[in-house]
Amino acid sequence: MSIYREYDIRGIFEKELNEDTVTKIGFALSAHIEGDYVAVGYDARAHSPVLFEYLVAGLNAGGKTVLGMGLVPTPVNYFANYQAFDGVTPTASIMITGSHNPPEYNGFKITIGQAPFFGEQIYALGREIDTMAFPSKAERRVKEIDALERYKAYMIREFAHLKGMNERIVYDCGNGVAGVAIKDIFDGLALNAKGIYVDPDGTFPNHHPDPSDEHNLADIKKLLEEEGDIAFAYDGDADRIAVLTHQNNIKGDQMALLYAMKIENPTVIGEVKCSQVMYDEFARRGVNAVMYKTGHSNIKVKMKELDADLACEVSGHIFFKNRYFGYDDAIYATLRMLELIQDGIDPDAELAKLPQVFSTEEIKVETTEQEKFKLMDAVKNALKQPPEDFPHIKDIIEVDGVRVIFDKGWGLVRASNTTPVLVTRFESTELSEAKRYEEALNRLIDSAKESL
């Protein structure tokens, strides 16, 4: 059951994701999908094509025909849900990807009826599969489609106005799947772009494909310094982005402030990890900004509910409904950032206008899958009667974990939905206060651990 996560299904190839389990996943999912066609693509991991065949067998046994996309970025998989191929529109899509996890991992991101299949839906699927007999074999039914070429043509057409930009663009695909799309799009737009680690390689020989980790940005920073004006880096399946200038590593919440400048009267969704600066600046502009749960599936559902134009996660998931379809797409976000620059917006100058705050990166507190939610409950209880020397609490927001509002900043503690950790983050207008909040909440977490 540990492979069934909040946002997707994820585990180690063969150990957890083996022929029996994956075939059953395909078969069980078939009962949740209306219509006959399911679009399936996969990332660069060596075992992704093997999992594709296992999944196909299950989907075929469940009466579905697979529209095979081959090697594609996750955003292309999402894109396929809005397209007709020879008169056939898929009613669901499944992306086989381990995202930014180590090479031995893989998994499935599932979309049904243009909406994420997640949370209790996934947990219930796991319980169903746990007691299910092996499905009967069926004739292999796979219809190959070229969703990738359709996607690239769409981007080149929608951003034709970027042709002739003089900016020197450098980018790092991290040997993930971004390279199968972004290079051709840049070439099709005749942009001055140079990429590194563009060829997909699921062993990730150069660095781990996670641009939210500064260690993985060393090579692209060097290339930016020597040959670029702006830089982009992508995670393993190209649904997260890092944007770098000579002065800034622009986080997802800062990107949202920039993107919203060119959207009229937007509604914007942020997560609990976003800086208070973002929420305050949107309030100053008169923008409707909503704080919501972390997680790409949560945010997509909330975007649809509120008919929001834009959403962001600090880690680099950027979602556009304005002029797009409402899902996270790092390649599309790249082109929208270049569009801002072409329109005369200087990201560094805009960020320099914002109040200065001191923020930590995400700090992870190790625990176990069995204990993390119990520990989170213990932290919440401890905050009801904190120690006498604990910083003054102005408010507690429990949208996702606890965001504790202090006099000069805030601290966040939440249970990760994908890994056995608590995730913390701290921010203040004063560096010493940010450290004080971090130390105080860490002591509280330690005490809560001891109480379990």
Over residues 34-88, the pLDDT tens digits come to: 999 999 999 999 999 999 999 999 999 999 999 999 999 999 999 999 999 999 9
Give catalytic residue positions: 10, 99, 317
232 strand-pairing partners:
171, 243
On whether both 309 and 369 belong to a single domain, the answer is no
Residue 403's pLDDT band (cuts 50, 70, 90): very high
Q: Is 421 left (phi over 0), alpha (psi -120 to 50) or beta?
A: beta
Q: Quick check: is 153 in a domain?
A: no
335: domain CATH number is: 3.40.120.10
Please give the backbone phi and psi of residue 267, each rounded to the nearest 5 degrees, phi first.
-105, 125
pLDDT computed for residue 148 by the predictor: 98
Q: Find tokens 């992704």 and name the residue.
A: 48
Instruction: Out of 327, 352, 377, pick the residue that ends a domain.
Output: 352
Please report, for the domain that includes residue 426, its CATH number: 3.30.310.50
Residues 342 and 373 in one domain: no
Residue 59 placed within a domain: yes
pLDDT band at 164 (very low <50, low <70, confident <90, very high): confident
372 lies in the same domain as 443 = yes
Confidence of residue 369 (pLDDT cuts 50, 70, 90): confident
Q: How many domains does the chain have?
A: 3
In this structure, the answer to whether residues 318 and 345 fall within a common structural domain is yes
Q: What are the distances in angstroms from CA 227 to CA 24, 240, 242, 425?
A: 50, 23, 18, 34
The stretch 216-229 carries a mean pLDDT of 98
Beta-strand (E) ranges in 43-186? 65-71, 92-96, 105-112, 115-116, 142-144, 169-172
pLDDT tens string 10-22? 999 999 999 999 9
In a domain, residue 1? The reply is no
235 within domain boundaries: yes
246 and 324 fall within a common domain? yes
- Residue 3's pLDDT band, with cuts at 50, 70 and 90, is confident
Which domain range does residue 253 map to? Answer: 159-352
Same domain, 240 and 373: no
DSSP 8-class letter at 142:
E
Is the same domain home to 262 and 335?
yes
Q: Residue 176: CA atoms inside 13 Å, Cβ hemisphere, count? A: 31
Task: Please identify, among 94, 111, 145, the residue that sits at the C-terminal boundary of a domain.
Answer: 145
Report pTM.
0.94
Residue 192 pLDDT exceeds 80:
yes
Strands 363-366 and 421-428: what pairing? antiparallel
Q: pLDDT by residue (tens digit) across 417-445?
A: 777 899 999 999 999 999 999 999 999 99
Same domain, 103 and 29: yes
Does some domain include residue 198? Answer: yes
- CB within 8 A of 45, min separation 6: which ones? 13, 97, 98, 103, 105, 106, 202
Domain end point (choices 89, 113, 145): 145
Q: Contacts for 367-372 with beta carbons within 8 Å, 24 or more apart?
A: 367/420, 367/421, 367/422, 367/449, 368/420, 369/2, 369/420, 371/452, 372/415, 372/416, 372/420, 372/421, 372/422
Nearest to 159 by CA among 332, 326, 347, 311: 332
